[in-house]
Structure 1
Amino acid sequence: MRRPLGEPIAFYYGTNQVDRLATFDRVVLQSDAYSEQDIAALVVRGVRPLGYLSLSEDVGPAAEWQRADRNPDWGGAFVHVGHPGWSDHVLAKVRAMRRLGLRGFFLDTLNIELTFPQDLPHLLTLVAAIRELTYPDYLLANRGFGLLPDLADLVDGVLFESFTSRWVEAGYAPWPPDVLEVHSRYAEMLLGLDIEVYALDYADTPRLAEYARARAARFGMPCFVGTRDLGTLPAR
């Protein structure tokens, strides 16, 4: 018997929380943090685990597809998305993650329209290759607004990360009003597409977390609120 519907989605990059994750319908996790048995334990309890995939940054050892520049926040090397070796590397990772029993993938680092716009067609091709390899698994894209509307034909859902709040030097804070207005217009555009839409926000106080959830709810978006490293789960 399937358990009652739980919270819609969680983003958790820590470990040792199988029981807590089992209270969500869908969870995004780092596949190397969980064993095949852990994944199976989630699936049998009605959870759909999604594995994290970065499509334009590489945190691995030096490789021919890497650019010289790195992400200043997380340290990963930016990549030449169209390099055949990068595509092979990503698809091999997808195959390995599927063998763990994952029920889909979270496609991250899609926002390259301002940094490497020449790679956008290659990025769309890579997403299409993942779609072909994994169908009918669930694909959730993180933002990727520069790839729309074509991206919507290849994925099942889009995540609007940092919809209402963001990291700042002092911790976390709402976006200023002009940015919130821009985000509202993007949300309306996403909701006009034939995909599921979620929000992910960051907060360190109950007040900011509730504000983020309430604002996302006005757009019909389930919202998960976490900390910057997504290493904690909210209290039940």
Structure 2
Amino acid sequence: MSTARLTLLSLLLVACAANGAASSGTVPAAPDAGTRAQRLTQARTWGYQLTGYGDAMLGPVRRSPFDVVVIDAVTDEGVAWTPTQLRTAAARPGGARLLAAYLSIGEAEDYRPYWQASWTASPPRWLLGGNPDWPGSYAVAYWDPAWQALMLRQLDHVIESGFDGVYLDLVDAYEGHAQRPTARADMVTWVCRVAAHARARDPHFLIIPQNAAELIRDPGYAPCVDALGSEETFVYAMNRPTEVARQQALLADYAVWTAHGKPVFAVDYADTPELVSRTYARARAAGLVPYVTVREADVLTPGR
């Protein structure tokens, strides 16, 4: 058995043990915590907004009809949300919506609270080159223990704020490390480490990776994750239909997710009415939970 497999098995055993044992670091479960996974599976609508909330009580989220909403882990000012703010935003008639915190575990961002100004001149060993498509974002050696420790501290803040789960971005970063033979396995191990860490504190905490749908074919991955968020199934940002081959490949991967009982939350980027309507219809016909919005993710776009 490979070292990566042994590491992954160890992480899964830790996660299982955490489900049955409390510790001084365990977060008390919310009254409905035991139904989070079921509520996630039953969700039919969702939204995704990372900036531009407008007020401290997350007005756009409170006014939305969505079953699940992904927001940034911190306010526009970089301050952690409080449990009261999140409870207020989640409340709605008929039962609270689920709130997941956005957290990039495959790239670093220089506008985050964890960023240190000294890194520009003297970067840590895990900080690699900048992302030309997203100024302020940097590739990282996501397998590096120092980077992982930094992200797990951010995850702790998410849990302490009272989120129902975490929405992990840049899980597909392994695709940019073709020169590293273990890059794919390293990402599976990393996501499972995130899951084990979170569930040791909150056994019902939800883990939702974004993209890298094909990782579900790794037998060690499925126990670590609860659902998939996936971009650009039918429409690239912005308003550009995707290729049939891409759609077919993704839908084949999605079928594996649903066979495992894990829902797929699809986000496409369009704002022309006809394309928006067609995208919602195609996604629902494919058994996905759809959301169509703008690339900036700075508004909570009304659903269909």
TM-score (norm 1): 0.87
Residue correspondence of structure 1 range 103-142 to structure 2 within 5 A: 103-117=164-178, 118=180, 119-135=183-199, 136-142=204-210
> Quick check: 1:222 aligned with 2:289?
yes
Distance 1:128 1:178, change over 3 A: closer
Aligned to 2:68: 26
Residue correspondence of structure 1 range 64-213 to structure 2 within 5 A: 64-75=124-135, 76-117=137-178, 118=180, 119-135=183-199, 136-149=204-217, 150-167=220-237, 171-213=238-280
| Deviation readout 1:47-68 (Å, 9 max, x if unpaired) | 2111111111001342414443
Letter of the 2:221 counterpart: L
Separation of aligned partners in 2, 1:107 and 1:97 = 12
Shift of 1:146: 4.7
Task: Name which one, 1 or 2, has greater alpha-carbon Rg.
Answer: 2
Structure with the higher helix share, 1 or 2: 2
Structure 2: stretches of 5+ with no match in the other structure: 1-31, 33-41
Are the aligned partners of 1:203 and 1:226 in contact in 2 as well (CA < 8 Å)?
Answer: yes
Are the aligned partners of 1:113 and 1:146 in contact in 2 as well (CA < 8 Å)?
Answer: no
Structure with the higher strand share, 1 or 2: 1
Shift of 1:6: 8.3
Question: Please, what is the CA RMSD of the aligned residues?
Answer: 2.3
Separation of aligned partners in 2, 1:210 and 1:174 = 13
Q: 2:46 aligns with which of 9, 21, 25?
A: 9
| Deviation readout 1:155-208 (Å, 9 max, x if unpaired) | 1001121110002xxx42111333333333333333323312111111011111
Are the aligned partners of 1:188 and 1:219 in contact in 2 as well (CA < 8 Å)?
Answer: no
Higher relative contact order (CA 8 A, sep 6+): 2
Structure 1: stretches of 5+ with no match in the other structure: none
Are the aligned partners of 1:166 and 1:202 in contact in 2 as well (CA < 8 Å)?
Answer: yes
Distance 1:141 1:108, change over 3 A: same
Aligned to 1:234: 301
Q: Which moved more, 1:116-125 or 1:76-85?
A: 116-125
| Deviation readout 1:75-106 (Å, 9 max, x if unpaired) | 31101111111010000000011111111000
Separation of aligned partners in 1, 2:73 and 2:302 = 23
Q: How many residues align?
A: 230
Shift of 1:219: 1.4
Are the aligned partners of 2:106 and 2:171 in contact in 1 as well (CA < 8 Å)?
Answer: yes
